[in-house]
Chain A
Amino acid sequence: MAKIIFIQHNGTETETNGIPGMTVMETAIKNQVPGIDADCGGACACATCHVYVGEQWQEKVGKRSAMEEDMLDFAFDVRDNSRLSCQIKVSDAIDGLRVTVPEKQF
């Protein structure tokens, strides 16, 4: 188990138990975390599971893939720490990960 904390735009936090091997997006959907739409179901084809990765976690979470970078063109307010949560795999290494959900997926 790895704790994944989702922070809403208004500051509300949801702490979830991520299962290693699943994605951060799947963890959000399983725990009914609001603000992660995941329209395409994790195919890296829609950019509606956009999150901002907490600063101290960026290195551990790793960089975006080329496909993910392309897909982020469809997201709004993309920042340096933007990631698509369907492309982040849960592992013990990211136990305690904090990600912020944008005000609106679009």
Chain B
Amino acid sequence: MPNSITTDAITTDAITTDAVIIGAGPCGLFSVFELGLLDIRCQVIDILDRPGGQCAELYPEKPIYDIPALPIVTGAELTQRLMEQSKPFKAGYHYNQMVTSLKKRGDSDFELTTDGGLTFHSKIVVIAAGGGSFQAKKPPIPGIEAYENTSVFYSVKKMEQFRGKDVLIVGGGDSALDWTNNLQPVVRSLTLLHRRDDFRAAPDSVNKMRALVAAEKMSLKIGQVTGLKGEHGLLSAATVKGADGNSFDVVTNAMLPFFGLTMKLGPVADWGLNLNENLIKVDTEKFESSEPGIFAVGDINTYPGKVKLILSGFHEAALMAQQAFHHINPGQRLMFQYTTSSTNLQKKLGVA
């Protein structure tokens, strides 16, 4: 991304801004634009590793037919165009971060923290979190909860954690294959388990994995996990139903299932906002939640007549920005201007 900020390192200093936007999907990105026109600076946080939200994760190559004036556009192209449109406003983008807490700070400001250790101080918050946060799918294997975070992991935070372990990786996509190839030198033994001897992952990583199998440095098994064995949260083996229908055990004390992502509401539920069936209730004048200064746009909000369309989210962002301006600049008059004729707006867009 051209104007993104890398946030791998844990920063202790808070990032101070006018607005924090939670979610870099189409509605979050268009909020950067609408707020930017009113001189409101933004920081955008998203749990995925790239902008686009569902457009990036669920249907990057699928055509969308109901964006006004774009008879056909893919999710990936829509995202790229929105990034370009909001580029003049130089927002900060923080990917791979989930906002874990949102609370008031003093009388008027907000403090947000992420699971990556970032802290933000802002005057307003825009929740554009769509269907919630994308989180790893947890396979419904009986009793799996007892092993989560002790022997079963849905992501790799530190490779060192797996040194000397008997690791079982389950799945056939890029995550499964990438971690197979990366962890193999570190672990004591490695088994990759997939339901078929055919992989979605990039051919290059599949070839690497096959070379490791040929060199007897790891094993590949075909089948599906049906049960887990162990005690006190420590896994000792996974029971696998093979392609031929027969079951066998794979010895493991660390299992990594990679079954893709699913949308979960996540921490939004804990922020004390007025919710209705996991959606944030807003008014249709300001798109503000029950907490003044916290707005919600796009699929995450609800109001009488709500339709979950990207174009509705764009409208919501435009009206939200007006109220955001008044919240940040109390008593100040906001002159309505068109981008076609206002030199002031055109200067902000870098075209005048």
Binding site for B on A (CB under 8 A): 39-40, 43, 45-48, 69-70, 72-74, 76-78, 103-104, 106
Contacts of B233 in A (CB 8 A): none
Classify the interface of chain B: helix, strand, loop or mixed.
loop
Complex: how many Å from CA A76 to CA B226?
A: 9
A106–B62 CB distance below 8 A: no
Contacts of B172 in A (CB 8 A): 73
Say whether, besides A73-B171, A78-B224, A104 and B140 are in contact (CB < 8 Å).
Answer: yes
Q: Which of these binds chain A: B99-107, B179-187, B255-263, B287-295?
A: B255-263
B62–A74 CB distance below 8 A: no
A40–B59 CB distance below 8 A: yes
B200–A70 CB distance below 8 A: yes
Among B58, B139, B200, B224, point to the contact of A40 (Cβ < 8 A).
B58
B59–A39 CB distance below 8 A: no
B58–A43 CB distance below 8 A: yes
Binding site for A on B (CB under 8 A): 58-59, 62, 131, 137-140, 171-173, 194-196, 198, 200, 224, 226, 259-260, 262-263
Sample (25) of A-B pairs whose CB atoms are under 8 Å apart: A39-B131, A39-B263, A40-B59, A43-B58, A43-B59, A45-B58, A45-B62, A46-B58, A46-B260, A69-B198, A72-B195, A73-B171, A73-B173, A73-B195, A73-B196, A73-B200, A73-B259, A73-B260, A76-B259, A77-B226, A78-B224, A104-B140, A106-B137, A106-B140, A106-B262
A43–B62 CB distance below 8 A: yes
Complex: how many Å from CA A76 to CA B131?
A: 22
Closest to B131 in A: A39
Among B131, B140, B196, B260, point to the contact of A74 (Cβ < 8 A).
B260
A106–B138 CB distance below 8 A: yes
11 more contacts with CB within 8 A, not counting A39-B263, A43-B59, A45-B59, are A40-B58, A45-B62, A46-B262, A48-B262, A73-B260, A74-B137, A76-B140, A78-B195, A78-B224, A106-B137, A106-B140
Contacts of A73 in B (CB 8 A): 171-173, 194-196, 200, 259-260
Contacts of A72 in B (CB 8 A): 195
Contacts of A106 in B (CB 8 A): 137-140, 259, 262
Closest to A82 in B: B195
Complex: how many Å from CA A78 to CA B173?
A: 16
Contacts of A40 in B (CB 8 A): 58-59
Contacts of A47 in B (CB 8 A): 260
Contacts of B224 in A (CB 8 A): 76-78
B262–A39 CB distance below 8 A: yes
Most buried by A among B173, B224, B260: B260
Complex: how many Å from CA A39 to CA B195?
A: 22
Say whether, besides A106-B137, A106-B138, A74 and B58 are in contact (CB < 8 Å).
Answer: no
Closest to A70 in B: B200
Closest to B173 in A: A73
